[in-house]
A = this chain, B = another copy of it.
Amino acid sequence: MAMAVAHHRESSSGSSINKHLDAGKYVRYTSEQVEALERVYAECPKPSSLRRQQLIRECPILSNIEPRQIKVWFQNRRCREKQRKESSRLQTVNRKLTAMNKLLMEENDRLQKQVSQLVCENGYMRQQLHTAPTTDASCDSVVTTPQHSLRDANNPAGLLSIAEETLAEFLSKATGTAVDWVQMPGMKPGPDSVGIFAISQSCSGVAARACGLVSLEPTKIAEILKDRPSWFRDCRSLEVFTMFPAGNGGTIELIYTQTYAPSTLAPARDFWTLRYTTSLDNGSFVVCERSLSGSGAGPNAASAAQFVRAEMLPSGYLIRPCEGGGSIIHIVDHLNLEAWSVPEVLRPLYESSKVVAQRMTIAALRYIRQIAQETSGEVVYSLGRQPAVLRTFSQRLIRGFNDAVNGFNDDGWSLINCDGAEDVIIAVNSTKNLTTSNPANSLALLGGGVLCAKASMLLQNVPPAVLVRFFEGAPFRVG
């Protein structure tokens, strides 16, 4: 019996007394042979031993291939088909999903435009009707937060009922139509974008909303986002006063938060809130939060006096696990920053949903995404460029700057030249110690204290819109 023809290269691989020459073990079948095999495969990819023998007998061009080789050929052929099919299937699904995505994004866009137009028309007509705001059906029902009396906040049962109500209101904002969300200008959804963003229109306070994909586990995300000082640059401190289980596996916390003011012209804000962390029946996690009506003081009454108490309307994070790992998060931030208390020039900063979106909502999503990417090792950083290090450093810088701008008493600031009529205010800080815990930090301190000075100017005749634009993107506080 003759073997399949082997194409030997007698002259090659001269460097070794190799054994490829003798054994003609590896042969490529001729195109006729492959054709014949393929024909059989097409009608039966898994021929029996009998069928294979029959094949060799029937087909003269296959007669010089051994039965064992035929068997192996079919095995390999099936394997190839399987691999090819899987990869083409994946590609097809991919194309389909991509196209569907495109379609949905367009539909989204169309709907967004329609919503904007309708909201606009709506507002116009409402104005024309100039009736009592009771007809405002779209937003008020949820947004006019019922005031909880102080007694509620003093017994756990009352707090639980507040928590459940907060949860419901937060969810209706996150996934329902409780608020007239309109797409954020310049933020289109897309597979490469960070997420979908919207800001509120025509409801009390300022609100922003975002949703996006993150490749982290829900619990991890909740943990990261709850630690607001780590990512929210305006957050000076967050203190958990009380913490007790809510019975259903959830947790209720009473929280006192201080934020920085964006300018020396206005006092900073603080919040006295209830935070409710729980999981839903569908496997989602929720962290939601809202202000309590009580006057829960901070740890230091003297320092708290420097703050204006602001209100957090039901807000939070809805984190839903995604099949195949990762999560979809929905973020809602809804605040009332008591804009009446700041000078008129700064008021737009406290009344712009876009500012909240940029500084809180998008910042949260960006931060969590960055962490996720670092964790998964998607991005490779060169030595000395570790994002965590950079982040810590940047955070410290901002914090220092913010502290300086705000000049809180408990940080050791005291005013000089304070006659009240000056545009420039100077304060000194004799106790501030910039020593860091990082021994590698080269910013060594000379002596035991630092003298800082800060100055501010009253901007006059600046249109509020310009000011808002200026602040929207700024990573730092401006005094």
Question: Contact at A19–B24, with CB atoms within 8 Å?
Answer: yes
Contact of A95 among B22, B99, B126, B324 (CB under 8 A): B324
Alpha-carbon gap, A436 to B21, bound state (A): 71
Alpha-carbon gap, A68 to B19, bound state (A): 12
Is the CB of A112 closer than 8 A to any CB of chain B?
yes
- From known contacts A25-B25, A117-B138, A191-B97, infer whether A328 and B107 are also in contact, taking CB-CB under 8 Å: no
B-facing residues in A1-22 (Cβ within 8 Å): 1, 3, 13, 15-16, 18-20, 22
Question: Contact at B16–A25, with CB atoms within 8 Å?
Answer: no
Nearest residue (CB) in B for A180 is: B114
| Shortest Cβ distance from residue A190 to the other chain B in the assembled complex, whole angstroms | 8
Alpha-carbon gap, A74 to B288, bound state (A): 53
Nearest residue (CB) in B for A211 is: B103
- From known contacts A90-B91, A95-B326, A122-B118, infer whether A110 and B25 are also in contact, taking CB-CB under 8 Å: no
Is the CB of A106 closer than 8 A to any CB of chain B?
yes
Contact of A104 among B1, B3, B105, B121 (CB under 8 A): B105
- From known contacts A99-B328, A122-B121, A177-B114, infer whether A107 and B196 are also in contact, taking CB-CB under 8 Å: yes
Is the CB of A132 closer than 8 A to any CB of chain B?
no
Alpha-carbon gap, A191 to B97, bound state (A): 7
Question: Contact at A93–B95, with CB atoms within 8 Å?
Answer: no
B-facing residues in A170-209 (Cβ within 8 Å): 175-177, 180-181, 189-191, 196
| Shortest Cβ distance from residue A215 to the other chain B in the assembled complex, whole angstroms | 8
Contacts of A341 in B (CB 8 A): none
| Shortest Cβ distance from residue A223 to the other chain B in the assembled complex, whole angstroms | 21
Interface size class on chain A is 35 or more
| Shortest Cβ distance from residue A378 to the other chain B in the assembled complex, whole angstroms | 10
Question: Contact at A108–B108, with CB atoms within 8 Å?
Answer: yes
B-facing residues in A283-331 (Cβ within 8 Å): 322-326, 328
Alpha-carbon gap, A82 to B13, bound state (A): 28
Question: Contact at B322–A175, with CB atoms within 8 Å?
Answer: no
Contact of A96 among B108, B128, B129, B213 (CB under 8 A): B213
Contacts of A3 in B (CB 8 A): 19
Nearest residue (CB) in B for A182 is: B114
Alpha-carbon gap, A323 to B91, bound state (A): 12
Contacts of A19 in B (CB 8 A): 3, 23-25
| Shortest Cβ distance from residue A317 to the other chain B in the assembled complex, whole angstroms | 15
Contact of A106 among B119, B175, B324 (CB under 8 A): B175
Contact of A101 among B1, B68, B100, B129 (CB under 8 A): B100
Alpha-carbon gap, A325 to B324, bound state (A): 28
- From known contacts A87-B87, A112-B111, A177-B117, infer whether A99 and B196 are also in contact, taking CB-CB under 8 Å: no
Alpha-carbon gap, A23 to B125, bound state (A): 91
Question: Contact at A103–B23, with CB atoms within 8 Å?
Answer: no
- From known contacts A23-B19, A94-B93, A137-B121, infer whether A111 and B115 are also in contact, taking CB-CB under 8 Å: yes
Contacts of A137 in B (CB 8 A): 117, 121
Chain A residues close to B by CB (< 8 Å):
1, 3, 13, 15-16, 18-20, 22-26, 66-68, 86-87, 90-91, 93-108, 110-115, 117-119, 121-122, 125-126, 128-129, 137-138, 175-177, 180-181, 189-191, 196, 211-213, 322-326, 328
What are the nearest 5 A-B pairs in CB distance?
A: A23-B23, A111-B111, A97-B97, A118-B118, A104-B104
Given A25-B26, A101-B101, A113-B177: 20 more A-B contacts, CB < 8 Å: A1-B16, A20-B25, A22-B23, A23-B23, A93-B94, A94-B97, A95-B322, A95-B326, A97-B97, A99-B328, A100-B213, A101-B104, A102-B328, A103-B328, A107-B196, A108-B111, A113-B176, A117-B177, A118-B138, A125-B126
What are 25 A-to-B residue pairs whose CB atoms are below 8 Å?
A: A16-B67, A22-B22, A25-B25, A25-B26, A86-B87, A87-B87, A95-B325, A98-B324, A99-B326, A103-B212, A103-B213, A104-B196, A106-B175, A107-B108, A107-B189, A107-B196, A107-B211, A108-B108, A111-B115, A114-B181, A117-B177, A118-B118, A118-B138, A125-B129, A128-B129
